[in-house]
Structure 1
Amino acid sequence: MKKMNVLKGLLALAVVFLFAQCTDNKGTSTEASAPAVAGTNMKIAYVEVDSLLTKYRYWNDLNELMIQKEENIRTTLNEKAKELDGEMREFQRKLENNGFASRERAEQENARLLQKQRDLQQLQEKLYADLQAENQKNSLQLRDSINSFLKVYNQKKGYSLIISNTQLDNLLFADKSLDITQEIVDGLNARYTPSTKK
């Protein structure tokens, strides 16, 4: 579970950087309700990334799928480790009771169990590497989803700058009228069609 929390943190960090890149000002319309920086025509807004991630259904579905996959990996590894542990105990019992026909046979069994242990370790590394790769792919898809939405959204709104805000960001204060988080969440969720395959 610790690995998944780290992956979630990395994903949140990726989304933070995403908003720094989403300042494309293709729209030229200005709205009276959109705040502008005093003395300029620059329109600025911010998005609460934590709120966005908790409310965006696509992210929640991805997150649920990744947690399920991690749990499946953990279950598979635990079953194999339990099986190996049982075989090792049986080997130890037979060794203590002279249950092997020869020393060579005991050494062969020991070598087999050591190889099985190495195979289990390799399997664990592979499964978690695959999970991490899939999580990175999901992070890119999430970023692309938000980026493409913000480009369309900003054509109508005409912001010069959209800033991300998380609990650890440098944004110490912002007027709540600049917060467009709910608009972004609503727009993203309206575009999202859940996949029927899982």
Structure 2
Amino acid sequence: MKNASLILNVILTIAVAVLYYLHFKDKQPEAAPATKTSTEAKGKSIVYVNVDSLLTKYEYFKDTQKVLESKRFQLENDLAAKGRNLQNKVAFFQQRAATMTQEQGRATEASLQKEQQDILAYRERAAQNLAVEEQSKNKELYDQIYDYLKKINAQNKYEFVLGYTKGGGILFADPSADQTKTILDGLNKEYQTKETKPKK
């Protein structure tokens, strides 16, 4: 969870930087009107989202975590079953070792060592595949959040959408700038719409 929170913080920081760039890239500097007050200049252009709430309440993230957790659990079960099977073969070999010829013993031992190496290689491949899938899901998460923020920014004109985590880089966040619920509701609504659409 802490790792996912850190990843989402980085993702939200990048999203903020891109939104800032998109917001200002086509604008030419203008002279500020003399009548503009300091409160008008500030406005509500900087808002934040509570990252922990986003992670615990965004349905896409929860569904993704369930899928990944299920795959981790399956992998652990597969490895445990392969490990038990190998242990049984080793125990059987040890019981019969005295009745085997030297050549049979060496061949069986080599076969067991190869099986052990195959299990280790399988574990390594499966862990790498799971890590790649997790990265892919984190990218999808980032893309969904970024696309949604970009879309709503057409109406709200936020300069920054910060990712806030208690104990993180932001020491204080005014609750009036908290857009977590609004953004979370919008993200969940979009996700539910995508999920209920018939798949082709």
Shift of 1:64: 0.2
SS at match of 1:173: coil
Alignment partners' CA distance in 1, 2:102 and 2:150: 72
1:178 maps onto 2:177 in alignment:
yes
Shift of 1:41: 3.8
Shift of 1:68: 0.3
1:132 maps onto 2:108 in alignment:
no
Where do 5+ consecutive residues of structure 1 fail to align?
A: 1-7, 29-36
Counterpart in the other structure of 1:19: 12
Q: Is the 8 A contact 1:27 1:156 kept in 2?
A: no
Alignment partners' CA distance in 2, 1:18 and 1:142: 9
Alignment partners' CA distance in 2, 1:155 and 1:62: 28
Counterpart in the other structure of 2:47: 45
Where do 5+ consecutive residues of structure 2 fail to align?
A: 25-37
Q: Percent identity?
A: 28
Shift of 1:20: 1.7
Counterpart in the other structure of 2:31: none
Cα 1:39–1:157 change in 2 (3 A) is closer
Cα RMSD of the aligned pairs, angstroms, is 2.2
Aligned length: 179
Counterpart in the other structure of 1:168: 167
Counterpart in the other structure of 1:4: none
Counterpart in the other structure of 2:195: 194
For residues 36-75 of structure 1, the aligned pairs below 5 Å read 38=39, 40-41=41-42, 43-75=45-77
Q: Is the 8 A contact 2:148 2:187 kept in 1?
A: yes
Residues 52-89 of structure 1: CA deviation (Å, up to 9, x unaligned): 01110000000000000000101111101000000001
SS at match of 2:150: helix
Shift of 1:194: 3.0
TM normalised by structure 2 equals 0.83
Q: Is the 8 A contact 2:51 2:164 kept in 1?
A: yes
Shift of 1:40: 2.8
Alignment partners' CA distance in 1, 2:154 and 2:144: 16
SS at match of 1:121: helix
Counterpart in the other structure of 2:89: 87
Q: Which has the higher helix share?
A: 2
Shift of 1:27: 7.5
SS at match of 1:40: helix
Shift of 1:172: 1.3
Q: Is the 8 A contact 2:79 2:119 kept in 1?
A: yes
Shift of 1:174: 1.3
